[in-house]
Amino acid sequence: MTIAVASRQWPGEGLARVPYWVYSDQDLYAQEQERVFRGNTWNFLCLEAELPGPNTYCRSTLGEMPIVVARDEAGAVHAFENRCAHRGSLLCLKERGAAKEIVCVYHNWTYDLAGNLTGIAFRRGLGGKGGMPKDAKPEAHGPRKLRVETLAGLVFATFSAETPALADYLGPEIVARIRRVMRAPVKLLGGYSQVLPNNWKLYMENVRDSYHASLLHAFFTTFRLHRLSQKGGVIISETGGNHTTYSMAADVAGKEYEQAGMRSAQDDFHLEAPELLASVDEYGDGVGIQILGVFPGFVLQQIRNSLAVRRVVPQGLEKTELVWTCFGFTTDDDALTELRLRQANLIGPAGYVSMEDGAATGFVQRSARAAGDELSVVEMGGHGTSSEDNRVTEAAVRGFWKDYRRHMGL
Amino acid sequence: MDVAVYLQVQDLNTRYVHAIDEDRLEQWPDFFAEDGRYRITTVENVERGLPLSLVYATSRAMMRDRVNSLRNANVYESQRYRHAVGTPLIETGDGGLVRAVTNFLVARIMHTGETTLFATGRYEDRIALTADARPRFLEKTVILDSRQIDTLLAIPL
């Protein structure tokens, strides 16, 4: 379904209403690539640990734009479009590797790890024949370079010269919450991806929706990993787009869910092998779960000792790849690594908790197609986008839309 | 090649995939030894030497927990699998220990009728074959060819 641009207006109720056409309008999707992903936003590309030494590279994305991220001889991190200056072939075909230069397979044009064109096969022709004119300037069509900043082992990039510095973009509270999780040099544990049958924004709303976690995810609630009655809160940046929700690990004996007969609370359900949930308070602050989102497409997760970065890759109006990379730290002993690997049962496409997010967001997408100008209701906790010391709120979801509308001019 | 061993492994594989495809998930843990290991990972993780799994169980009890959670807690749309397993490649060891590598394809059939090729890969199994007990998996590693999972992976592979 496509609505003419002129008729596209945000509902008068403001951030507490979201029109369904935001998930089903092809023109809007194309505009997002330009205004959001290639606009004044910082996009997570990879962990620094994925570039383990000088002369290494990996592939990433900026929205739909394919990107090469590389660490040069001197250790500096660069990011540039994965597109040859010549005919636009992908330059880098391997997911990751080590090399001093990147060579396009199509016609052997060569680039350094900063994305500079350094060599053209037969530029001067052969035997005085063929080749490029002397005044040709193919370098002018080279892959576009991104601004790169790293923070606590995370590599971010922006396409725009106008995006504020990363720390200003994130806001001080979000920076502090990132630094909290990234407490030591990263050790990669592995990854996978989950292809979600929905628009990318539905996933980023889901991440910010502190209200759903204990209601949709029965596993969470049953084992008191996460209940809204547990102490916790939501922190939202000035811009609205960046957020953290957190809850304390300490159990509360409350029976609010059971008394209300909620599906997610089942007293008779227990684990035969509770070692699955064995965990240690590695941060020493009692926070059991911290989920952090950065606009537009980044999530940093701490669920007990399960740590992961999640990168959202829009692959069309109704298709989103969610790339998960799980990690620990180089300081971990074998016992802590084993805890992280066991707790990984909670997350990812097969996770006791995370599997349902793929289902629920897909359910919204299927109804949104036909819902057009109808509005969804985002009114838990009122209409604001301020930080709160409870999680029975959709303030961070409204924050997402506040930032989205600013970037999109909607 | 000991034909009897070969047939026992094939029979174990066949009974295993039929139990899953016919939604007899409660029987799934019984194909494993009490302290059997089951995990699902990707060939990319294996080739990079990275230990992460999508599903990681180190006992029959942990597998029963997963079935219990799938039946009673998790939310996913009604779906079935249809496994096709290849001919196992077998190495026999001492004391009835067998290593088998078996290719598989799994189609997923949604309640809507939508059928897709959901997963391909290989099983790397360690199997205990003893005369006095039924054959069981000591370890089953499901190595997926792709890192991508469509929507979610609820039912074991």
Residue A66 contacts B, CB cutoff 8 Å: no
Does residue A250 have a pLDDT over 60? yes
d(CA B105, CA B86): 9
Domain that holds residue B61: 3-144
B61-94 b/e with 16+ CB inside 10 Å = b?
A: bbbbbbbbbbeebbbeeebebebebeebebebee
Q: What is the structure's pLDDT at B121?
A: 98
Nearest Cα residue to B27 out of B15, B45, B9, B39? B15
Q: What is the structure's pLDDT at A65?
A: 96
Task: Note whether residue A19 is domain-resident.
Answer: no
Who contacts A333 (Cβ-Cβ below 8 Å, separation ≥6)? none
Contact B65/A216, CB-based, under 8 Å? no
Task: Note whether residue B153 is domain-resident.
Answer: no
Condensed to tens digits (0 to 9), the pLDDT of residues A137-174 reads 999 999 999 999 999 999 999 999 999 999 999 999 99
Contact B52/A191, CB-based, under 8 Å? yes
- Which pLDDT band holds residue B94 (cuts at 50, 70, 90)? confident
Contact B72/A218, CB-based, under 8 Å? yes
Query: Which ranges constitute the DSSP H helices of A237-377?
Result: 256-259, 334-343, 355-371
d(CA A371, CA A19): 9
Does residue A264 have a pLDDT over 80? no
Residues A335 and A188 occupy one common structural domain: yes
Q: What is the structure's pLDDT at A267?
A: 61
Residues A203 and A345 occupy one common structural domain: yes
Residue A239 contacts B, CB cutoff 8 Å: no
- Which pLDDT band holds residue A357 (cuts at 50, 70, 90)? confident
CA A4, chain centre distance (Å): 30
- Which pLDDT band holds residue B83 (cuts at 50, 70, 90)? very high
Interface probe for A, chosen from B41, B56, B75 (most Cβ of A below 10 Å), is: B75
Q: Return the CATH number at B10.
A: 3.10.450.50
Residues A288 and A384 occupy one common structural domain: yes
Task: Note whether residue B35 is domain-resident.
Answer: yes
Task: Note whether residue B95 is domain-resident.
Answer: yes
Q: What is the structure's pLDDT at A390?
A: 86
**Which residues of chain A make contact with B57, given a CB cutoff of 8 A?**
345
Q: Return the CATH number at A84.
A: 2.102.10.10
Q: Are strands A186-196 and A56-62 parallel, antiparallel or unpaired?
A: unpaired
CA distance B131 to chain A (A): 30
For A355, the closest of B41, B62, B76 (CB atoms) is B76
ipTM, interface predicted TM-score of the complex: 0.96
Other C-beta atoms lying within 10 Å of the C-beta of residue A128? 7
Contact B72/A266, CB-based, under 8 Å? yes
**Which residues of chain B make contact with A359, given a CB cutoff of 8 A?**
75-77, 151-152
Identity of the amino acid at B91? E
Does residue B86 have a pLDDT over 80? yes
* Mean pLDDT in residue range A224-231: 72
Residues A202 and A63 occupy one common structural domain: no
Residues A220 and A130 occupy one common structural domain: no
Contact B147/A197, CB-based, under 8 Å? no
Reading the block at residue B18, the tokens are 């039929």
Task: Note whether residue B108 is domain-resident.
Answer: yes
How many domains, chain B?
1
Interface probe for A, chosen from B43, B112, B152, B153 (most Cβ of A below 10 Å), is: B152
Residues A274 and A208 occupy one common structural domain: yes
pTM of the model: 0.94
Reading the block at residue A164, the tokens are 């504020």
Condensed to tens digits (0 to 9), the pLDDT of residues A365-399 reads 999 989 988 999 999 999 999 998 888 899 999 99
* Mean pLDDT in residue range B9-28: 98
Does residue A5 have a pLDDT over 90? no
Who contacts A334 (Cβ-Cβ below 8 Å, separation ≥6)? none
For B59, the closest of A192, A273, A355 (CB atoms) is A273
3-state secondary structure of A218: helix
Q: What is the structure's pLDDT at A358?
A: 82
Does residue A111 have a pLDDT over 90? yes
* Mean pLDDT in residue range A125-136: 93
- Which pLDDT band holds residue B22 (cuts at 50, 70, 90)? very high
* Mean pLDDT in residue range A90-97: 95
Instruction: State the DSSP code for A338.
Output: H
Handedness of CA A335, A336, A341, A347 (dihedral sign): positive
Q: What is the structure's pLDDT at A226?
A: 66
Q: What is the structure's pLDDT at A253?
A: 58
Contact A352/B72, CB-based, under 8 Å? no
Task: Note whether residue A389 is domain-resident.
Answer: yes
**Average pLDDT score, chain A:** 92
Q: Return the CATH number at A223.
A: 3.90.380.10
Residues A111 and A203 occupy one common structural domain: no
3-state secondary structure of A344: helix
d(CA A321, CA A7): 30
**Which residues of chain B make contact with A321, given a CB cutoff of 8 A?**
148
Does residue A261 have a pLDDT over 80? no
Residues A118 and A198 occupy one common structural domain: no
How many domains, chain A?
2
Contact A194/B154, CB-based, under 8 Å? no
Q: What is the structure's pLDDT at A35?
A: 97
Contact B51/A190, CB-based, under 8 Å? yes
**CB A189 within 8 Å of CB A327:** yes
Q: Which residue of B has its CA nearest to A276?
A: B62
Task: Note whether residue B155 is domain-resident.
Answer: no
Q: Which residue of B has its CA nearest to A193?
A: B148
Burial class for A103, CB neighbours closer than 10 Å (0-12, 13-18, 19+): middle
Q: What is the structure's pLDDT at A401?
A: 97
**Which residues of chain B make contact with A349, given a CB cutoff of 8 A?**
54, 149, 151-153
Q: What is the structure's pLDDT at A297?
A: 97
Other C-beta atoms lying within 10 Å of the C-beta of residue A215? 17
Q: What is the structure's pLDDT at A230?
A: 80
CA distance B2 to chain A (A): 37
Condensed to tens digits (0 to 9), the pLDDT of residues A312-356 reads 999 999 999 999 999 999 999 999 999 999 999 999 999 999 998
Nearest Cα residue to A329 out of A321, A315, A339? A339
Condensed to tens digits (0 to 9), the pLDDT of residues A25-69 reads 999 999 999 999 999 999 999 999 999 999 999 999 999 999 999
Domain that holds residue A107: 43-149
Task: Note whether residue B149 is domain-resident.
Answer: no
**Which residues of chain B make contact with A197, given a CB cutoff of 8 A?**
150-151
Task: Note whether residue A257 is domain-resident.
Answer: yes
| Contact residues, chain B to chain A, C-beta under 8 Å | 40-42, 44-45, 48, 50-59, 61-62, 64-66, 68-69, 72-77, 147-154
Task: Note whether residue A358 is domain-resident.
Answer: yes
Nearest Cα residue to A181 out of A114, A102, A246, A250? A246
Task: Note whether residue B157 is domain-resident.
Answer: no
Q: Picking from A352-356, B56-60, B108-112, which range would have the lowest pLDDT averaged per residue?
A: A352-356
Q: What is the structure's pLDDT at A224?
A: 64
d(CA A394, CA A385): 8
Task: Note whether residue A216 is domain-resident.
Answer: yes
